[in-house]
Amino acid sequence: METTRHFVATVYVVHDGATALHEHAKLGMWLPPGGHIERDELPHEAAVRETQEELGLPVELVAPVGELHSETARSIPQPQQFLLEDIDSIDGDVAHQHVDFVYYGRVDSRDIDPGTDEAPASAWEWLTPDQLQARADQFPDDVVTAGQRAIETIGARESPET
């Protein structure tokens, strides 16, 4: 069996010590904003677009950019994680996978106003690290871990230096 692979971008969006998740209707699991990378779109551009579409919020990615560049090459924002995710299987064989560029991002508000009806504002929840851990049985392990790391990473950048 041939495995179909799609490239996707995901953003763990953080505001005031919490990250936004919703129960994805098609996949039946709790996930952050994200989706397929369009033709000729760069992964970090897809991450920003998907966040805007799904949350109605502009996001600032917290993504390192390498220093390598030349006349013909330049570094682009790097994902925090790069995952291969099994989406569907047929007769025990993986049929569909996502190659996921996972970013962390900062937003200035928790006022979610989606541009689509796919997941209404009421479907989204802001969760702290403790809430992610307390409800870990509802979320995939990678979602709990990445959500906690995103909150920690964004919080460390926002904390005043002592």
Residue spans of the domains in the chain: they are: 4-67+75-158
Query: How far apart, in whole angstroms, are the C-alpha atoms of residue 52 and residue 48?
Result: 6
CB atoms within 10 A of CB 25: 9
pLDDT score of 118 more than 80 = no
How many CB atoms lie under 10 A from the CB of residue 36? 13
pLDDT (average), residues 59-81: 95
Q: 4-67+75-158: which CATH topology?
A: Nucleoside Triphosphate Pyrophosphohydrolase (3.90.79)
CA distances from 114 to 36, 72, 119, 158 (A): 17, 38, 7, 26
Distance CA 13, CA 56 (A): 12
Predicted TM-score (pTM) of this structure:
0.91
Q: Is the pLDDT of residue 78 over 80?
A: yes
